[in-house]
Amino acid sequence: GAVVSQHPSWVICKSGTSVKIECRSLDFQATTMFWYRQFPKQSLMLMATSNEGSKATYEQGVEKDKFLINHASLTLSTLTVTSAHPEDSSFYICSARVQATDTQYFGPGTRLTVL
Amino acid sequence: AQSVSQHNHHVILSEAASLELGCNYSYGGTVNLFWYVQYPGQHLQLLLKYFSGDPLVKGIKGFEAEFIKSKFSFNLRKPSVQWSDTAEYFCAVTLNQAGTALIFGKGTTLSVSS
């Protein structure tokens, strides 16, 4: 149980375009999902907390107009990187929280490369 | 601000050696503690967690961790490592409030030679 999927697993896009990444909890409902960014050989940096039915809470330094988060249902959160630039190239990982155990389960990540 | 420190950046062991990875956190209140593992090319998986009770917790694949409150530590141990334990290990905490985000350490790369 507690499986989280992400789609796509990798994406290459041109600078200036927008990319949407989906995060789904497959076998449980998640009122809270989290989006992280991981740089090579480094730890995960929290970008934002996504709450179902309300606005996401962004960490300091994360541009909310650039990284749009929508958590429209209890099993789906989306991250849209708008007007992507090469510096946005990274590994984006989501997690979904099982409320009963207050434990987060992670998706496999999405590798974004902006040319 | 709360933080998590992992002392070892890269640990290299031979098979059957014992493992201990250090983790310390800085927060004076109650925390929930986690160890996650990321095998090469795979996503983060939960190894074990501590919320309350017995400070020695056992996880999957023979791993265990001990919470020592006085030392703000949650070290990960395994008596005898295997080549398949080669991975990145992350210590993480959440504040003892429902729904708070994980605060991760920088991770420790474990390389096990056969």
State pLDDT tens for residues A6-56.
999 999 999 999 999 999 999 999 989 999 999 877 788 999 999 888 889
Secondary structure class of A71 (helix, strand, coil): strand
Out of B49, B51, B90, the one facing A43 most closely (by C-beta) is B90
pLDDT-flagged residues of chain B (< 50):
none
Tokens coding B30: 């109650």
Helices (H), A11-57: none
Please tell me the distance from the alpha carbon of residue B89 to that of residue A43, in angstroms, as a whole number: 10
Give yes or no for B10 touching A (CB within 8 A).
no
Please tell me the distance from the alpha carbon of residue A33 to that of residue B32, in angstroms, as a whole number: 18
Say whether A44 and B90 touch across the interface (CB within 8 A): yes
pLDDT at A84: 96
| pLDDT tops 70 at residue A90 | yes
User: Which residues in chain A are contacts of B31 at CB distance < 8 A?
Assistant: none
Out of B42, B49, B106, the one facing A42 most closely (by C-beta) is B106
pLDDT at B42: 86
Tokens coding B86: 């080669």
Please tell me the distance from the alpha carbon of residue A111 to that of residue B38, in angstroms, as a whole number: 16
Tokens coding B96: 């003892």
Say whether A108 and B43 touch across the interface (CB within 8 A): yes
Q: Residues 80 to 99 of A: which have CB under 8 A from any B CB? A: 93, 95, 97, 99
pLDDT at B26: 92
Q: Give bridge partners of residue A97 from the DSSP assignment.
A: A104
Q: In this predicted model, what pLDDT tens digit does every residue of B13-46 receive, in sequence order?
A: 999 999 999 999 998 888 899 999 999 888 899 9
pLDDT at A103: 87
Say whether A43 and B98 touch across the interface (CB within 8 A): no
pLDDT at A100: 84
Contact A26, A36 (CB under 8 A): no
pLDDT at B23: 97
Give yes or no for B97 touching A (CB within 8 A).
no
Q: In this predicted model, what pLDDT tens digit does every residue of A46-85 receive, in sequence order?
A: 999 998 888 899 999 999 999 999 998 999 999 999 999 9
pLDDT at B97: 66
Out of B51, B98, B104, the one facing A43 most closely (by C-beta) is B104
Say whether A106 and B44 touch across the interface (CB within 8 A): yes
Chain B: closest CA distance from residue A31 (Å): 9
